[in-house]
Amino acid sequence: MSEQYSADVVVVGAGICAGTVAKELAEAGLSVLVLEAGPRWERGEVVENWRNMPPVNKSESDYATPYPAQPWAVHPQLNPYNEYPEVSEPDASAFRQGMIKGIGGTTWHWAASCWRFLPADLQLHSTYGVGRDWAVTYDELEEYFLIGVNGPNDTSLKYVAPLKKPFPMEPMPYGPADRRFTEVVAQAGYINTPVPQGRNSRPYDGRPQCCGNNNCMPICPIGAMYNGIHSVVKAENAGAKFIPNAVVYRIDTDKDNNITAMHYYDPDTVSHTVTAKTFVLAGNGIETPKLLLLAANDRNPNGIANSSDQVGRNMMDHPGILMSFQASEPIWTGGGSVQMSSITNFRDGDFRRDHSAIQIGMNNTSQNHKAGVKALQMGLVGKKLDEEIRRAACGMDIYVNHDVLAHPDNRLTLSTERKDKLGIPFPHVTYDVGDYVRRSAVHSRQHLMNIAKLFGATEIEMTPWFNPNNHIMGGTIMGHDPKDSVVDKWMRTHDHKNLYIASGGAMAAAGTVNSTLSMVALSLRACDSIKKEMLHA
Ligand SMILES: Cc1cc2nc3c(=O)[nH]c(=O)nc-3n(C[C@H](O)[C@H](O)[C@H](O)COP(=O)(O)OP(=O)(O)OC[C@H]3O[C@@H](n4cnc5c(N)ncnc54)[C@H](O)[C@@H]3O)c2cc1C
Ligand code: SF4
């Protein structure tokens, strides 16, 4: 028999945004029920899964497989590739996103780079006449940057965002590769600065200090890196209830277009109903627009919250170009966390009127798996095998990420080809990075070649296409005008007074840097609005 639950607030999804919302609202005294499509994992179990994975998966950076996808909660898999989400040309390669479905969500296996956007990133149209403006300014957002981040407090560093309060932790010391990278690129005027990181450079918030073992993706074995699960546990301690394996698929509305109920399937496709006063969708930038379209009903035939026809449009990420090479000296990537520094010269400037801003960086991921698998595939044994593996010390991966503009034709719809076990269609995304990025990429490739030259590189390989970066933005875009946006500056949907969206989907311009810190900040703004409405009305 189907169960019915009721709470003050129902939250859909149990990732970092949902966990933050549940924690904030439960601590404020509201009853909170969280529905999560995927299962619950334990840290030790995932560490074991990763240890036992075939080396070839490790060499291909397959970070999802240690978190096995369930048939009722399909997430993207690399090996074998499962076409989730489906992506159409011209730039399909640039939107093959990573995400995982389970309690704690995708940040179980993130890199925890916690950059702040620059003020101009949020006012791109007003400043440079391109793209769209966010509905909030940097000043309004800054008070909501609350994840414990270690970072540089020296704002004279090129394009570190303004700080009203210092970072709570000092930056981590660089490993050998980041130290050498900084020295070498400085010869050509590139300014390499510490990446603000959501990992502990000292014991903090009940979690240990990072020990620099470089396992961050797919899992930090000791919990020094901040994950969504930490917010989940705090929310549970404050009384929030989390239901795993609960896939929300239908949304009911009343005559005033308020949300009255949501329905979820359990793994046996038995439907259950939940009711609440306020609902928050936090299923990430792909799954939330998918659900809004899927849940179309008689009153909302184009989808929930979609009177503007903007749900699923303006999909964004940071299209990347990746270059690998052998340096002429040992660099020793792999000491410290996976992303420690980045070149910030080109994050902002008047050139943004013409082409996109960029972030350039070195992946500090250990090269050992890649080199080891290659050596075995070459059939080497004995001394030759040993020599080949040792070449990992000189291997380097350098990336450039681009600021893409919001475009309504970059659109998520429901697949007409593929469905999951519950009969729910896969998401389908049509994606074109646009000429703004393509013009910038000409310069990006030159920068990459300059850097290769500085390192005396051989065996240079550069992707001819754009790759994804898993920073999913845009599909439920924010704005002041209900006719061309989905949510307002408090993440409340224009169409439904008691429905909020806590996700990167609201972001109206992508900037150049990893966006999760800002997603969490937007989610906290939603909490302030909900608390004002429900506790102080
Ligand atoms: C390999 C990798 C590295 C990354 N590194 C960084 C980084 O260094 N810095 C950075 O800023 N970002 C990084 N990201 C991106 C970051 O992980 C995401 O931005 C972040 O997880 C988004 O949080 P979220 O809460 O919106 O969504 P998620 O963490 O994806 O959680 C959403 C949850 O909602 C659930 N859900 C969805 N639909 C439904 C439904 N209908 N019913 C019930 N539940 C549902 C899902 O199962 C999922 O558990 C990385 C991503 C990847 C893949
Ligand atoms: S380097 Fe190791 S300890 Fe530090 S965050 Fe990454 S996995 Fe955790």
pLDDT digits (tens, 9 = 90+) for 159-172: 778 888 889 999 99
The verdict on whether 471 is a catalytic residue reads yes
| Cα 64 to ligand 2 centroid, rounded to whole Å | 18
pLDDT tens, position by position, 114-126? 999 999 999 999 9
Is the C-beta atom of 503 inside 6 A of ligand 1? yes
| pLDDT of the residue at 147 | 80
Positive or negative: CA dihedral 492, 144, 285, 207: negative
Per-residue pLDDT for 148 more than 50? yes
Q: Which residues of 449-459 are buried (b: 16+ CB within 10 A; e: fewer)?
A: eebbebbebee
CA distance readout (Å), 501 to 11, 55, 281, 304, 525? 9, 39, 5, 12, 11
Average pLDDT score, the chain = 95
| Cα 169 to ligand 2 centroid, rounded to whole Å | 16
| pLDDT of the residue at 157 | 76
Is the C-beta atom of 113 inside 6 A of ligand 1? yes
| pLDDT of the residue at 114 | 96
pLDDT tens, position by position, 204-222? 999 999 999 999 999 999 9
Judged by its nearest atom, the ligand closest to the C-alpha of residue 107 is: 1
| pLDDT of the residue at 536 | 79
Torsion-angle region of residue 168: left (phi > 0), alpha (psi -120 to 50) or beta? alpha
| pLDDT of the residue at 309 | 98
Can you tell me the mean pLDDT for 140-155? 88
CA distance readout (Å), 189 to 36, 184, 241, 323, 454? 47, 10, 52, 20, 12
Q: Which atom of ligand 2 is nearest to the CA of 112?
A: 5
What tokens appear for 219 in the block? 């899992």
State percent of the chain over pLDDT 70: 99
| pLDDT of the residue at 159 | 73
- The pTM is what? 0.97
| pLDDT of the residue at 273 | 97
SS3 of residue 225 by DSSP: strand
User: In the block, which residue shows the tokens 């990133």?
Assistant: 121
Per-residue pLDDT for 338 more than 70? yes
- CA 59, CA 42: separation in Å to the nearest integer? 24
DSSP-derived secondary structure letter, 330:
-
| pLDDT of the residue at 2 | 64
CA distance readout (Å), 127 to 314, 351, 352, 354, 369? 20, 11, 9, 12, 45
Ligand 1 pocket: which of 110, 262, 513 to mutate (most atoms <8 Å of CB)? 110
| Confidence band, pLDDT 50/70/90 cuts, at residue 224 | very high
| Confidence band, pLDDT 50/70/90 cuts, at residue 1 | very low
Per-residue pLDDT for 416 more than 70? yes
| Cα 483 to ligand 2 centroid, rounded to whole Å | 45
pLDDT tens, position by position, 277-316? 999 999 999 999 999 999 999 999 999 999 999 999 999 9
| pLDDT of the residue at 162 | 86
- CA 11, CA 33: separation in Å to the nearest integer? 6
